[in-house]
């Protein structure tokens, strides 16, 4: 086998392979061999084939890399004072986005790219081997174009979020801004992106405006995703389902009809507990969604306003403690759930012949991701077989 690496003595291998019985498709006491970016062999350590290099996992757990299907990491500036004010009693409003828009517009290309690459590296070190990046802090044709270009240099999963808020230069001319988003801005961005998103909520865009944006994206060959029902009950989830969105994200305030609509659709509910944590808001009711049969994803929502974390492990711990997900459900949502939200079936699983996106934990079980909150248990990370984090 060319340049094969064998991980030996894996105590607990989370495969998410539907052909392996039981939750998470767990296999115990195995070796896993990687070559040319793929998993080429899984079996008992005693039977492991020769390899060019071997790592003794000494009973530790190995998981599929996390799939973070929602991040906003192309931005400049700092909103720590806004966070501190919120913790002192102020409430979150969508208008805070404009602070980051001003700082992002003022940043030169090199600074904006370096900021984004730093956060992308942080995501990778935290175990996200696949992640999505949104634009949405430029909100001019040129600033959105450069945002998606920077993101596209890092990931294939790029989302155009020109419809994040109406920027101050268009106050009083919402229709003018929507025309810009659906026309020249979309034209400038569409070749770099796979997805179109809209913030359908209080202080951002209403149902008709959201439909207009998503329809323009569909005409340009993009697939919708929607920031839905984060701040209040509203039309976001029903618009997402109606437009065939890959996911409705946040889903914090849901009616019974919203839950039923999601359950009857292919739209994934992406929960972002970092946002509730950082805005000190009530968490979404994950149990209600899971019990209704909705596919749930967990993602970081990494952004400077409401969730400045790159840690999927932290989101898993929050999902378990605050949203009453079992640890297995949370790990599923952070791997195959995220993959479903990105309509991918080639990531989020560890299967022979599949992409080698792997996390080696400094712990014997995936359970420790929630059991040891705030502790960095990610010991090593491989993305497509390449080490993106190694033991120091």
Contact residues for ligand NIG, defined by CB under 6 A: 72, 96-97, 100, 199, 227, 230, 275, 301, 303-306
Handedness of CA 316, 317, 321, 327 (dihedral sign): positive
**Beta-bridge mates of residue 10:** 30
In sequence order, what are the residues at sequence separation of 6 or more whose Cβ sits closer than 8 angstroms to the Cβ of residue 194? 156, 157, 158, 159, 222, 223
Q: Which of 35, 28, 45 is nearest to 5 (CA)?
A: 35
Distance CA 362, CA 378 (A): 6
Q: Which does 180 bind (CB under 5 to 8 A by kind): Fe ion, ligand NIG, none?
A: none
Give 100 or 310: the residue with its C-beta nearer to ligand NIG.
100
Other CB atoms closer than 10 Å to residue 85's CB: what's the count? 12
Q: Which is nearer to Fe ion, 157 or 301 (CB)?
A: 301
C-alpha distances out from residue 17 to 34, 64, 68, 332, 336, Å: 17, 10, 19, 11, 10
Is residue 285 within 8 Å of 261, Cβ to Cβ?
Answer: no
User: Whole-number minimum distance, CB 33 to ligand NIG, in Å?
Assistant: 40
Query: Which option in Fe ion, ligand NIG, none does residue 97 bind, with CB closer than 5 to 8 A by kind?
Result: ligand NIG
- Residue 301 interacts with Fe ion (CB under 5 A)? yes
Residue 73 contact among ligand NIG, Fe ion, none, beta carbon within 5 to 8 Å by kind: none
- Is the Cα dihedral 67, 71, 76, 82 positive or negative? negative
Residue from 280, 277, 268 nearest 316 by CA? 277
Question: Whole-number minimum distance, CB 199 to Fe ion, in Å?
Answer: 8
Q: Which is nearer to Fe ion, 258 or 301 (CB)?
A: 301
Which partner from the list ligand NIG, Fe ion, none does 185 bind, CB cut-off 5 to 8 Å by kind? none
- Spatial separation of the C-alpha atoms in residues 200 and 305, rounded to whole Å: 17
Residue 233 has a CB neighbour count (10 Å cut-off) of 13
Indicate which of Fe ion, ligand NIG, none lies near residue 315 (CB less than 5 to 8 Å, by partner kind).
Answer: none
Site string for Fe ion, 177-216 (x = CB under 5 A): ----------------------------------------
3-state secondary structure 105-136: HHCCHHHHHHHHHHHHHHHHHCCEEEECEECC
Give me the least distance between CB of 249 and Fe ion, in Å please: 6
Strand partners, 200: 205, 228
Q: Which does 199 bind (CB under 5 to 8 A by kind): Fe ion, ligand NIG, none?
A: ligand NIG
Between residues 8 and 301, which has the closer beta carbon with respect to ligand NIG? 301
Question: Which does residue 96 bind out of Fe ion, ligand NIG, none, counting CB within 5 to 8 angstroms by kind?
Answer: ligand NIG
Region of 156 (left: φ > 0; alpha: ψ -120 to 50; beta: rest) is: alpha
Task: Write down the residue that tokens 């992409």 correspond to.
Answer: 355
Least Å distance, CB 322 to ligand NIG, is: 17
Radius of gyration of the chain (CA): 21
| Residue 85 vs 387, nearer CB to ligand NIG | 85
Q: In the bound complex, what is the minimum distance in angstroms from residue 99's beta carbon to ligand NIG?
A: 8
Minimum CB separation from ligand NIG for residue 367, in Å?
A: 29
Region near Fe ion per CB under 5 A, out of 262-270, 293-301, 355-363, 374-382:
293-301
Q: How far is the CB of 100 from ligand NIG (least distance, A)?
A: 5
User: Which residue's CB atom is positioned nearest to ligand NIG?
Assistant: 305
Query: Closer to ligand NIG at the Cβ: 100 or 192?
Result: 100
Residue number with CB closer to ligand NIG (97 or 254): 97
Distance of alpha carbon 44 from the chain centroid: 33
Minimum CB distance to ligand NIG, residue 177 (Å) = 16
Under the criterion CB under 5 A, does residue 12 sit at the interface with Fe ion? no
Nearest approach in angstroms of CB 145 to ligand NIG is 20
Tell me the C-alpha distance between 147 and 112, whole Å. Answer: 8
Please state, in angstroms and rounded to a whole number, the distance separating the CA atoms of residues 99 and 324.
34
* Piece of 35-43, 50-58, 75-83, 299-307 that binds Fe ion (CB under 5 A): 299-307
Q: Using CB under 5 A, list all residues that contact Fe ion.
A: 301
């Amino acid at each position: 086998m060319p340049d094969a690496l064998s991980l030996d003595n894996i105590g607990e291998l989370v495969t998410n392979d539907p052909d392996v019985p039981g939750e998470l498709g767990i296999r115990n006491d195995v070796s896993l061999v990687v070559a040319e970016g793929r998993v080429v062999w899984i079996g008992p350590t005693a039977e492991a084939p020769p390899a060019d290099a071997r790592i003794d996992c000494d009973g530790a757990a190995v998981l599929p890399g996390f799939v973070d299907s929602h991040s906003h990491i192309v931005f400049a500036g700092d909103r720590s004072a806004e966070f501190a004010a919120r913790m002192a009693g102020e409430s979150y409003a969508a208008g805070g986005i404009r602070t980051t828009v001003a700082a992002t517009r003022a940043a030169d290309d090199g600074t904006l790219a370096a900021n984004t690459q730093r956060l992308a590296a942080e995501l990778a070190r935290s175990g996200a081997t696949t992640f999505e990046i949104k634009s949405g802090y430029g909100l001019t044709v040129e600033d959105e174009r450069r945002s998606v270009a920077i993101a596209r240099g890092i990931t294939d999963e790029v989302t155009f979020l020109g419809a994040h808020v109406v920027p101050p230069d268009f106050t009083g001319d919402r229709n003018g801004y929507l025309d810009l988003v659906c026309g020249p801005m979309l034209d400038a961005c569409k070749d770099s992106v796979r997805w179109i998103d809209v913030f359908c909520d209080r202080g951002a865009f209403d149902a008709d405006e959201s439909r207009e944006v998503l329809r323009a994206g569909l005409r340009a060959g993009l697939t919708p995703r929607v920031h839905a029902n984060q701040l209040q009950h509203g039309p976001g989830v029903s618009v997402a389902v109606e437009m065939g969105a890959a996911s409705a994200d946040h889903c914090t305030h849901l009616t019974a009809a919203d839950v039923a609509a999601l359950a009857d659709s292919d739209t994934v509910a992406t929960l972002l507990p970092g946002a509730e944590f950082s805005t000190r808001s009530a968490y979404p009711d994950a149990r209600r969604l899971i019990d209704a049969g909705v596919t749930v994803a967990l993602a970081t929502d990494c952004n400077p306003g409401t969730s400045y974390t790159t840690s999927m492990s932290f989101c898993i711990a929050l999902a378990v403690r605050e949203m009453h997900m079992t640890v297995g459900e949370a790990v599923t949502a952070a791997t195959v759930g995220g993959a479903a939200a990105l309509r991918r079936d080639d990531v989020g699983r560890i299967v022979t012949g599949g992409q080698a996106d792997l996390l080696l934990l400094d712990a014997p079980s995936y359970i420790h991701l929630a059991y040891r909150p705030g502790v960095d248990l990610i010991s090593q990370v491989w993305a497509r077989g390449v080490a993106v984090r190694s033991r120091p």
